[in-house]
Amino acid sequence: MASKTHQRVAFDDSETRSEEMHSTIDQWLEDLVTLTDEARASEQFQNWLDVQSRFHDYSARNTLLINQQCPEATRVAGYRTWQEEFDRHVQEGEQAIWIWAPIITTRCPECENAPSYHEQIGCEYDETPPEEWSRGLVGFSPTAVFDVSQTAGEPLPDLDTEATGDAGDLVPALTDASDDLGVGVRVVDPEEWAHGEAMGVCEYPDSDDDQPLVEAKARSNQADLAMTLVHEYAHAVLHVDDDTERSKREIEAEAVAYVVGRHFDLDTSNSAFYLAAWNSDDPEKVRNRLGRISRTAQRIIGILDD
């Protein structure tokens, strides 16, 4: 699986590929919630987070698939994309990495299916003819991609960036991002800090008209301050009106901070994921949490990148 003690998977059989991709994700989730060794569970989870940090705009299920097939992947693209956009070619004998790609086509406004399946299921919508339907998502299909390490050709100059603790302008960018996230934010001087040993807090609103308020204690370590802000932003985005146990909310917030920090080349190796808090949860709940982590990290990274 994701750790070094597990064998990587491959989806070589086209007839069973789709089913195997689904079952592999389900098995990964089953393993995560049934592992009794907390260290192994945390390693497996952190391996996925590492992949998610490199592919922040991918869905949780696609980063799970990449993690299972090629956990060291850093940049993936389709066979022709490598050729046409990067002047690189996939080397002979390399094995494809299979992910889910969206199928976008014209679809029925009523049943939201492509014309062929719309007819197959007997949908009776007839207000507008198919040629006037708008395009939209109708499903997903297995699609082959390859990591840059499987290709040769012109170099990609930005791939060798070393991870450092230099936060650059990340802290002011995060404070500027608060409006887009619908969150208030304050960086408070240590002498004015009123929250004890906590380095950051998220105060939830009393009414729907108010917004969450994130406060972080100012410090010289800007990388640490940035991660505190992301952690508390994650609480503000994910946990308003959420009565889940605190320990489970903390895992989600810390995981979001880990993904965002890794994306911006910060050293987040000291993050703690107390996955024992998930032991009583079924795989579907864990799947939902991974999706929430992935989407929230995507949203924050997208705002900061813009």
pTM of the predicted model as reported, rounded to 2 decimal places:
0.69
What residues pair up with 153 in beta bridges, in sequence order? 88
Report the residue count for the chain.
Answer: 306
Report, as an integer, the average pLDDT of 21-49: 80
The answer to whether residue 120 scores a pLDDT higher than 70 is yes
Percent of the chain with pLDDT over 70: 89
Phi, psi of 168 (to 5 degrees): 55, -125
Task: For residue range 208-218, list pLDDT tens digits in order.
Answer: 768 999 999 99
The answer to whether residue 160 scores a pLDDT higher than 60 is no
Check residues 130 and 276 and name the one with the higher pLDDT. 130
Cβ atoms of residues 17 and 11 within 8 Å: yes
Which parts of 24-125 are beta strand (E)? 76-77, 88-90, 97-106
Task: For residue range 65-85, list pLDDT tens digits in order.
Answer: 999 999 999 889 899 888 887
Where residue 187 falls among pLDDT bands split at 50, 70, 90? Answer: very high
In this predicted structure, what is the pLDDT of residue 137? 81
Task: For residue range 238-297, list pLDDT tens digits in order.
Answer: 998 888 888 888 889 989 998 999 899 888 776 766 666 676 678 888 888 899 999 999
Amino acid identity of 99? I
In this predicted structure, what is the pLDDT of residue 7? 67
Report, as an integer, the average pLDDT of 169-185: 95
Alpha carbons 114 and 137: distance in angstroms, whole number: 9
Mean pLDDT of the chain: 84
Comparing 20-24, 61-65, 149-153, 208-212, which segment has the lowest mean pLDDT?
208-212
What residues pair up with 77 in beta bridges, in sequence order? 146
State the DSSP string of 174-223.
HHHTHHHHT-EEEEE-GGG--STT-SEEEEPPSSTTS--EEEEE--S-HH
The answer to whether residue 207 scores a pLDDT higher than 80 is no
Alpha carbons 153 and 138: distance in angstroms, whole number: 36
Q: Tell me, what DSSP letter sits at residue 168?
A: T
Amino acid identity of 6? H
Q: List the one residue out of 71, 54, 70, 43 whose CA is nearest residue 265.
A: 54
Where residue 111 falls among pLDDT bands split at 50, 70, 90? Answer: confident
CA 182 to chain centre: 20
